[in-house]
Amino acid sequence: MRDGQNSGRSMIEMLGVLAIIGILTLASFVGYKKALTKSRVNDTVRATAMVLQNYANLILKNTRGLNINGADAVEKAVSTGLNSECRIVDSDAEEYKVCDVPLGEMYIKLTDVDNEKYNFMLFVTMVDEDAQTCIQFLHQGWNEVVPKEWQPNGMIWLQSDTAEADVYKQDAWGSVKSTDIASACNRVCKKGNEYCAVIFDFGSVY
């Protein structure tokens, strides 16, 4: 009789231990996933900031007549130094080459307009990501990173296969207005979308 009672207690204790192990394992996995996402966001932020800085340097050199667009755009972005660290891959979302970044893809379009200004677009496309990743990426103070002189001529906005939204845009009085980033990301970058792109869209005078 005593052996049966001891056996019963042992089984209950074992189930309790297994439950605790399961909870700890789940917590560790969630913590690891958050840390991994944060690392990927930070690496993509650094790559994006580098391209923006390279574009600013290009403007200072007063380079004219440069067009980066079409099928060979990514190769031109690399050769001109706009994205010298690019690892060229096939796009998951479109039928062209792109630069691989931890969150997905990066693509640059640069068009010379009548030798007067450039139209510059930098696409950071998050593939298989959700709204929380979008929120983390945009909460990096991009309105402070982007040079003030660019802001009257453009904006930062979101686009997916189902919706789009402005994020940072200068108003008529010269103040940079930002939308509710969480709301914009939750509306545009829904889980299950094919892609969600953050687009840095600026024209600049030579």
What are the pLDDT digits (tens) for 93-112? Answer: 667 889 999 999 999 998 88
Bigger pLDDT: 82 or 117? Answer: 82
Domain containing residue 88: 43-205
Q: Is the pLDDT of residue 119 over 70?
A: yes
CATH of the domain at 101: 3.30.1690.10
Give the count of alpha carbons within 13 A of 171, CB side only: 6
Give 116-170 as a DSSP string.
TEEEEEEEEEESS--HHHHHHHHTTTHHHHS-GGGGGGEEEEEEESS-EEEEEEE
Q: Is the pLDDT of residue 205 over 60?
A: no
Instruction: For residue 166, tell me if it sits in a domain.
Output: yes
Instruction: For residue 1, tell me if it sits in a domain.
Output: no
Instruction: For residue 26, tell me if it sits in a domain.
Output: no
Q: Is the pLDDT of residue 58 over 70?
A: yes
Q: What is the count of structural domains for the chain?
A: 1
**CA dist 90 → 104, 107, 182 (Å):** 11, 11, 30
Question: Comparing 59-63, 66-70, 107-111, 132-136, which segment has the lowest mean pLDDT?
Answer: 59-63
Q: Is the pLDDT of residue 172 over 80?
A: no
Local structure of 79: helix, strand or coil: helix
Instruction: For residue 19, tell me if it sits in a domain.
Output: no
Instruction: For residue 103, tell me if it sits in a domain.
Output: yes
Looking at residue 171, what is its pLDDT?
A: 59
Instruction: For residue 104, tell me if it sits in a domain.
Output: yes
Instruction: For residue 165, tell me if it sits in a domain.
Output: yes
% pLDDT > 90, the chain: 33
